């Protein structure tokens, strides 16, 4: 007698896989005209467990997919040397999407038990939702294709894999401690709120989310101003939200290697190191980005004392803030007069002393005491 759960799984598979399992891996390779060893590599690259040669697990859809993949390589669209890498990236991204969608489906059934009163009803639900999910995914994919294609053709003189970008990390402060203090439901809510906010802000300012890493978001932006607005807005909005922890950020500008949706290079490492030494509510930028933003009147860049972190000796960051409005009228005149009486320039009178940072091992710093010299009026 068939186990009810196994019968449900078989029904769902027929809906999701487009038919019954009826081929072995060798039969799929033969029907698609793909060499045996190559089909094995592609299957593993997609993230699926290796199956025995005599195990019947494949459908007609698998044959067609293998044939289509082979045609892409034969046409020259995908270089044979990166075929496995492309397949691996595709498998990794889509497996995460599938896991989220299945979780969403079961949450829907838990919230509305009438949708899952029988196995047949669950199967019908999946059968109805699948085309709608595919339609939405296809729309989003095409919109992203249009966005990236426009960007690529606009900068056709620059190599798409290795190009100049601003890389930024923004992470929640005290996340490890937070996980010990709240339950799973509350933690899920915090992560969802942070991810939603980060995604919205980065999109609003023309950046791109590379990936969410737990309590941290890694993003890239084409221009220094876009990157500055992303980091500043995220910092401001999390500070205003009492339900979210404070954040800190690190950004660096330079050449990066973009590969299969991820980014690599010394600029990425530098941005990560700057984040590790930033204080809550602080945005640290490297010298290159500070220079690029120096002429922008909307921002204030305050040099910080050199710090040493893993891979970088005596790193000289600057703290990025929004520029405060300059004093005008009578107040400006009185401030200038006071500065002259004290023997200071106006710039020195307005400047805020940089925080002294004391190194405590690899990648960890704490703020030292602030010292301000005062002149006594006699």
E strands, 149-246, are 162-172, 208-213, 216-221
Mean of the per-residue pLDDT values of the chain: 78
> pLDDT band at residue 157, thresholds of 50, 70 and 90?
low
Residues in the chain: 378
Of 221, 322, 237, 312, residue with least CA distance to 275: 312
Instruction: Classify strands 312-315 and 307-309 as parallel, antiparallel or unpaired.
Output: antiparallel
Question: DSSP 3-state assignment of 148?
Answer: helix
Nearest-angstrom CA–CA distance, 231 and 228: 5
Residue ranges of the alpha helices (H) in 18-75?
A: 25-32, 36-45, 60-74
How many Cα neighbours within 13 Å face the side chain of 95?
10
Nearest-angstrom CA–CA distance, 378 and 367: 34
Instruction: Classify strands 283-285 and 247-259 as parallel, antiparallel or unpaired.
Output: parallel
Of 47, 9, 6, 41, residue with least CA distance to 25: 41
What value does the mean pLDDT take over residues 330-354?
Answer: 43
Rg value, the chain, Cα: 28
**Integer CA distances (angstroms), 376 to 336, 349, 373, in order:** 18, 15, 10
How large is the angle between the packed helices 119-154 and 4-17, nearest 10 degrees? 30
pLDDT in the model for residue 239: 92
Q: How many CB atoms lie within 10 A of CB 49?
A: 7
DSSP string, 260-306: TTEEESHHHHHHHHHHHHPPTT-EEE-HHHHHHHTT-TTEEEEE---
pLDDT tens sequence across 238-253:
999 988 899 999 999 9
Compute φ and ψ for 190, nearest 5 degrees: -65, -45
pTM for the whole structure: 0.61
**Integer CA distances (angstroms), 285 to 3, 76, 319, 322, 363, in order:** 59, 41, 6, 14, 16
> pLDDT band at residue 159, thresholds of 50, 70 and 90?
low
pLDDT tens sequence across 41-93:
877 777 777 788 888 888 888 888 888 888 877 788 777 777 788 777 777 77
Q: Tokens 């006594």 belong to which residue?
A: 376
> pLDDT band at residue 294, thresholds of 50, 70 and 90?
very high
Nearest-angstrom CA–CA distance, 229 and 232: 5
Nearest-angstrom CA–CA distance, 29 and 23: 10
pLDDT tens sequence across 92-117:
778 778 887 888 888 887 888 777 77
């Amino acid at each position: 007698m068939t186990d009810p759960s196994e019968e449900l799984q078989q029904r769902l598979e027929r809906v999701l896989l487009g038919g019954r399992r009826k081929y072995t891996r060798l039969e799929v390779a033969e029907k698609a005209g793909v060499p045996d060893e190559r089909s094995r590599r592609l299957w593993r690259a997609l993230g699926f467990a290796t199956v025995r040669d005599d195990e019947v697990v494949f459908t007609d859809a698998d044959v067609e997919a293998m044939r289509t993949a082979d045609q892409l390589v034969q046409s020259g669209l995908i270089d044979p040397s990166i075929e496995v890498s492309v397949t691996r990236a595709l498998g990794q991204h889509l497996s995460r999407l599938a896991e989220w969608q299945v979780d969403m489906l079961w949450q829907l059934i838990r919230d509305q038990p009438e949708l899952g009163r029988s196995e047949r009803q669950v199967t019908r639900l999946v059968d109805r939702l699948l085309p709608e999910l595919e339609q939405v995914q296809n729309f989003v994919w095409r919109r992203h294709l249009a966005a990236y294609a426009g960007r690529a053709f606009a900068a056709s003189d620059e190599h798409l894999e290795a190009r100049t970008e601003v890389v930024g990390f923004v992470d929640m402060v005290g996340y490890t401690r937070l996980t010990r203090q709240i339950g799973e439901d509350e933690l899920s809510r915090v992560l969802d709120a942070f991810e939603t906010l980060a995604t919205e802000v980065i999109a609003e300012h023309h950046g791109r989310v590379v990936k969410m890493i737990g309590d941290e978001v890694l993003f890239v932006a084409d221009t220094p101003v876009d990157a500055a607005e992303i980091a500043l807005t995220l910092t401001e909005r999390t500070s205003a939200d009492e339900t979210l922890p404070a954040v800190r950020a690190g950004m660096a500008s330079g050449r990066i290697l973009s590969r299969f949706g991820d980014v690599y290079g010394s600029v990425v490492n530098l941005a990560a190191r700057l984040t590790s030494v930033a204080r809550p509510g602080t945005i640290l930028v490297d010298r290159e980005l500070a220079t690029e933003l120096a002429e922008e009147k909307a921002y204030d860049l305050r040099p910080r004392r050199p710090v040493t972190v893993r891979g970088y000796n005596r790193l000289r960051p600057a703290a990025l803030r929004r520029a405060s409005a300059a004093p005008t009228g009578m107040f400006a005149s009185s401030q200038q007069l006071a500065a002259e009486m004290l023997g200071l320039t106006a710039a020195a009178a307005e400047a805020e002393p940089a925080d002294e940072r004391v190194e405590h091992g690899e990648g960890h710093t704490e703020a030292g005491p602030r010292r301000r010299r005062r002149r006594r009026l006699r």
